[in-house]
Chain A
Amino acid sequence: MTAIPETAISIHGLTKSFSGRKVVDDVSLQVAGGEIAGFLGPNGSGKTTCIRMICGLLTPDAGTGTVLGLDVLRHQRQIRRQVGYMTQRFSFYEDLSIEENLNFVAGLYHLPRQVVADTLADLGLTSRRRQLAGSLSGGWKQRLALAACIMHKPRLLLLDEPTAGVDPKARRQFWDEIHQRAAGGMTVLVSTHYMDEAERCHRIHYIAYGRLVISGTVAEVIANAGLTTLTVETAEPGQLAARLRRAPGVDQVEPFGTSLHVTGSDPAALRAALAAHDATGTAAETSLEDVFIRLMGQSDDNIR
């Protein structure tokens, strides 16, 4: 194996249509070696399609790019060997036991049996290795799928919404594992809906309606959005929120218990709107979620 390349993923103008509808439209993306890149965006924004093109499961209609230095159009087979891909839906065999599934994967990658034994031990599943994969809970299925995807020590790991339906403790364990792997040199591209997960990524890429909207570190993305957020304490959050949503200069109002997070792009207009409704706000940090909800709204407008 060669050393980690400077850029693990470098794609330009990737486009894919399904029955005349552009699902991915001119997406360009750079992921450096050893980086954890977050792929964010609403449902149906083209994240899965993008990931499938990167790992050679779909052929792009247009665009060029390299994955681990290999051409995405011509070297799909070689790419598949060096990439681990964890699908959104559990796609191992539910009628095979945990060990049988791992043996199957090990065979396809020419891995020695010892790797399976080690993987089972790492997972803490040695005693349950004869249990059918279908009988595992969501969290365990996810751990099994991850273990199976990284058994062949891929240089690039693609994870498609890996933590959907997994409890918070299992999610935390999962992310610890991902960070360990990245520290060991593995590059990771992970798609997610969760903002706390996005914040665990080195860089994030936001995609909406097939188009890449913004890329950068979490801090960069928040700073570039140019939003001001104020926290308003109120006795009647419901009514105030309803009134503020209609006020000029207010983009978003999010209730958090007895307080409201009010966000707008113009700080003066935002304060004026609050004053008009006899409310005062204290400065708060704009969260990634505030930025994304705004981005989603904007892309929505562009489409219409």
Chain B
Amino acid sequence: MSLSLIRLGALLRKEFIQMRRDRVTFAMMLAVPIMQLLLFGFAINTDPKQLPAALVAPVQDRFTRAMSVALENTGYYRFVAPDATAAEAERLLSQGQVAFVVTVPGNFGERLLRGESPQMLIEADATDPAAASGAISTLGTVGAQALRRELGQPASSAPGPEIVVHRRYNPEGITQYNIVPGLLGIILQMTMVMMTSMALTREIERGTMENLLAMPATPAEIMLGKIAPFIGVGAVQMLVIIGAAGMIFDVPFIGSPWLLFSGVLAFVLVLVLLGYLISTMARTQMQAMQLSIFIFLPSVLLSGFMFPFRGMPGWAQVLGEVLPVTHLLRLVRAVMLKGAQPGDVAGHFLALAIMAVVLGTLALFRFRKTLD
């Protein structure tokens, strides 16, 4: 059998014609790489700066001011709560509103002036060890230098203030503590959206859609019928992953399991609705698959799963806030690692609820009741 160029040419022509006819695939082949390259290229930054911090200092004097200015000058810290009480700061840290809490005791300046070596506490949210590491590494030297400058002491003279760093929620900085709960969101995102995105396209491809539409089922009934089984599948996946997180990876589980389960179920509901919306738009299962992947990539890269959320520029953070998995990641980490209370994660529940309503409405609106 020889290679015939004429036969090969015929095969190539046919492939190109088919590629051109499938406009969605063609557009995705060209547009998606460019879009994602620009999006992720500019958005991802593994050394986040301008991390929000709270300052707890009952007595605000020149030392506390010098300290906060010096920390802000490093570019890593931004004091969003410059005069918080200890309780407020604890709440902000637990809700993830600040990444650091700097606590300066009331007699700090006094003891420093007496030539003693007072302690100052910096608590870091170490649920994502990578995100906090850069900021923590600059702490000791910068803080000490600033105070010595304020005292007029040479840099080398002793004794100086002692800076104590607490890595909260994950004292050993174990990466699995961050990644494994995150994987719960990512795995669910991948399987749920992809499975439900085939829901209607499969009916269309097999020719059963015409019959389904001819029978008296309403669009809402069809949608609920399609998504409900997958909510069950999602619940099983959740139990498997959480079980594995505890048994294999020794990830601590401090918070309420019920809060976690209801959060994950809300997330699964959003995912299946998203998948169903895709299935109302895609014409073939192939297109549904491509659209799912198109949404999956930013969910991994811009949600704070793989790279620190606070490292991204503002526009990318806005984009990240719209991704359901972003809210799930924060919710899961808050409940599992920080023992967050319902009030702490209410915002994420609200965000997921809004997404569910919007996606469900869009899907019902997009659903074609006729074959037009």
Contacts and interface: CB of A to CB of B under 8 A. Distances in A.
Interface of A: 52, 55-59, 76-77, 80-81, 83, 85, 87, 89-94, 105, 108-109
Q: Which among A52, A55, A83 has the greatest number of chain B C-beta atoms within 10 A? A: A52
A105 B214 CA distance: 11
Interface in B200-214: 206-211, 213-214
B370 A92 contact: no
Given A87-B211, A91-B210, A91-B211, A59 B216 contact: no
Contact of B216 (A58, A77, A89): A77
B371 interface: yes
B27 interface: no
Given A87-B210, A91-B207, A92-B208, A80 B215 contact: yes
B152 to A, nearest CB: 83
Given A91-B208, A92-B211, A94-B206, A57 B371 contact: yes
Given A91-B207, A91-B208, A91-B210, A76 B215 contact: no
Contacts of B295: none
Contacts of B214: 55, 57, 80, 83, 85, 87
A57 B370 contact: yes
Nearest to A148: B211
B370 A108 contact: no
A92 B207 CA distance: 8
Contacts of A105: 215
A109 B216 contact: yes
Contact of B215 (A58, A59, A109): A109
Nearest to A158: B214
Interface residues of B, number: 15
Interface in B317-372: 369-372
Contacts of B211: 85, 87, 91-92
A94 B213 CA distance: 17
B217 interface: yes
A58 B368 CA distance: 10
A59 B368 CA distance: 12
Nearest to B217: A108
13 contacts: A52-B371, A56-B370, A57-B210, A57-B213, A57-B214, A58-B371, A58-B372, A91-B208, A91-B211, A92-B208, A93-B206, A93-B208, A108-B215
A189 to B, nearest CB: 14
Interface string B113-134: 0000000000000000000000
A90 B372 CA distance: 20
| Chain B binding surface, main DSSP class | loop
Nearest to A96: B208
Contacts of B370: 56-59, 76
A59 B372 contact: yes
Contact of A87 (B207, B217, B372): B207
Contacts of A80: 214-216
Contact of A81 (B207, B216, B372): B216
Contacts of B215: 80, 105, 108-109
Contact of A90 (B207, B217, B369, B371): B207
A191 to B, nearest CB: 15
Contacts of A52: 371
A105 B216 CA distance: 10
A16 to B, nearest CB: 9
Q: Which among A56, A91, A105 has the greatest number of chain B C-beta atoms within 10 A? A: A91
A39 B214 CA distance: 20
A83 B216 CA distance: 10
Contacts of B372: 58-59
Given A80-B214, A91-B211, A108-B215, 16 more contacts: A57-B210, A57-B370, A58-B370, A59-B372, A80-B215, A81-B216, A85-B211, A87-B207, A87-B210, A89-B207, A90-B207, A91-B208, A91-B209, A91-B210, A92-B211, A93-B206
A55 B370 CA distance: 10
B46 to A, nearest CB: 47
B194 to A, nearest CB: 19
A283 B73 CA distance: 110
A85 B206 CA distance: 17
A83 B184 CA distance: 47
A44 B214 CA distance: 21
A108 B207 contact: no
Contacts of A87: 207, 210-211, 214
B216 A108 contact: yes
A83 B214 CA distance: 9
A81 B214 CA distance: 8
A152 to B, nearest CB: 9
A75 B207 CA distance: 25
A81 B216 CA distance: 6
B263 to A, nearest CB: 33
A55 B369 CA distance: 12
Contacts of A90: 207
A26 B217 CA distance: 31
A54 to B, nearest CB: 11
A144 B280 CA distance: 29
Nearest to A78: B216
Contacts of A55: 214
Contacts of A92: 208, 211
Contacts of B210: 57, 87, 89, 91
A91 B209 CA distance: 8
A127 B159 CA distance: 94
A279 B334 CA distance: 98
Contacts of B206: 93-94
Contacts of B369: 76
